[in-house]
Amino acid sequence: MYKLVAMDLDGTLFNQAKKISPANLAAINDLKARNINIVIASGRTYNDIMELVSQLDLENYNKGYVIGYNGVIAAKTKPYQIIFKKTINGYDVRRIAGLVESFGFKMHVFCDNQILLSEHIERITKSDRDLIATAVTMPMTNYTGPDEVYKVLILDDETKLNTFQSQIPKPFFADYTIVKSASTLLEFAHLHGSKGNALAKLAQHLHLKQEEIMAFGDEENDISMLQYAGLGIAMGNAKESVKEKARVITKSNIDDGVAIAIHKYIIGDEIHGF
C-alpha cells in the first residue's frame, strides 16, 4: 500500500496552463481522505510552491510536505518544519561563477528570501515574483552575498545549455548536483541536494519504506526521485531519459496523467483508460 505520493509541478501536476486540473485536484483530495502523505517536489522556492498549489490547502493538512529548490530542502507544511536542508556557500558561488561566466552565461543565486543576479543579466526567471522584484545584482566571481545558498540557476538557450553541460569539468559533478529542471534551466546545488535524496530523508523521517512511496515526474531533475520511489512514474510528456528510468509511464500532464495513475494504483479504479 502506498503511504506517500510525491509530485513534480511543471509538466507533471500542472497542465499546459500551469494549473491543477479538476481531475488531478479530485485525485489529490482522495489521497487526503485516505490520510496519505502528499509531497510537492519542485525547483521553486517553498513560498512559491505554496502559492501555486493553494487549491490543495496543504497548510491545513497535517501530512503535507514540500521539497523545494530541487531537493535542497524538505519541509512539513503544518506546522511548518524544515526536515532536511543542504546548502552551498559563498566560495561555491564564486567557483561556479568562474566556470559559468567563462562560457558567457549569467546566474541567479537563490538565498533565504533573496535572489541575487549577475551584473548585466538579460534573461530573468519568473520563479517567485516577490523575490525577483527585490533582486539585486553583483559581480558573481567576487560574490559577497549571504553564505547560505540554496542553488545557482542559469537561464539560457537550450542548445547552448546542453553544450555547456556536456563540457563541465568532472570535478564539478563530484562536488555538486548539476541538473536541468527545464530545457532552458540548468541548476547547481549541494551534492546531496536532489529530489531523490530529499525524498529519502523525508521517508526516513516518516519511517516509510521505499515500496510505500509513489513519485511522478517529467524532467531530468526528477530522475533521482523516480529511482528512489517504489513506484516511479514518468509522465507521457516526459523526456525519454526520464521514461527510461521510470517503472511506469502514465498519460501526459494535459491528459490528467497524475490522476489516472492515482486511480489505478491507489484508489483501485480507472479513469479515461490506462
Residues spanned by the domain of 62? 4-85+193-267
- Quick one: what percent of the chain has pLDDT higher than 70? 98
Domain end among 190, 221, 242: 190
* 107 and 180 assigned to the same domain: yes
* 108 and 164 assigned to the same domain: yes
Domain end among 190, 210, 243: 190
According to the 3-state scheme, what is the secondary structure of the chain? CCCEEEECHHHHHECCCCCECHHHHHHHHHHHHCCCEEEEECCCCHHHHHHHCHHHCHHHCCCEEEEECCCCEEEEECCEEEEEECCECHHHHHHHHHHHHHCCCCCEEEECCEEEEECCCCCCCCCCHHHHHCCEEECHHHCCCCCCEEEEEEECCHHHHHHHHHHCCHHHHHHEEEEEEECCEEEEEECCCCHHHHHHHHHHHHCCCHHHEEEEECCHHHHHHHHHCCEEEECCCCCHHHHHHCCEECCCHHHCHHHHHHHHHHHCCCCCCC
272 within some domain: no
Domain end among 164, 190, 216: 190
Q: Which of 38-52, 90-104, 257-271 has the weakest average pLDDT?
A: 257-271
Question: Is residue 135 predicted with pLDDT exceeding 50?
Answer: yes
The number of folded domains in the chain is 2
Question: Is residue 271 predicted with pLDDT exceeding 70?
Answer: no
- pLDDT digits over 70-96, tens only? 999 999 999 999 999 999 999 999 999
What is residue 273's predicted lDDT score, i.e. its pLDDT?
46
Task: Name the average pLDDT for the chain.
Answer: 95
What is residue 254's predicted lDDT score, i.e. its pLDDT?
97
Question: Is residue 126 predicted with pLDDT exceeding 90?
Answer: no
263 within some domain: yes
What is residue 125's predicted lDDT score, i.e. its pLDDT?
86
Q: Is 8 among the residues known to form the active site?
A: yes
* 110 and 186 assigned to the same domain: yes
* 156 and 178 assigned to the same domain: yes
* 97 and 179 assigned to the same domain: yes
- pLDDT digits over 143-156, tens only? 999 999 999 999 99
CATH number for the domain spanning 169: value is 3.30.1240.10
* 212 and 177 assigned to the same domain: no
Query: Pairing relation of β-strands 231-234 and 248-249?
Result: parallel
Widest distance between CA atoms in the chain: 57
* 111 and 148 assigned to the same domain: yes
* 11 and 142 assigned to the same domain: no
* 65 and 105 assigned to the same domain: no
Report pTM.
0.93
Alpha-carbon distance of 228 to 168, in angstroms, equals: 26
Top pLDDT among 273 and 75 is at 75
Per-residue pLDDT averaged across 38-60, rounded?
A: 95
Catalytic residue, from 8, 156, 222, 256: name it: 8
What is residue 272's predicted lDDT score, i.e. its pLDDT?
52
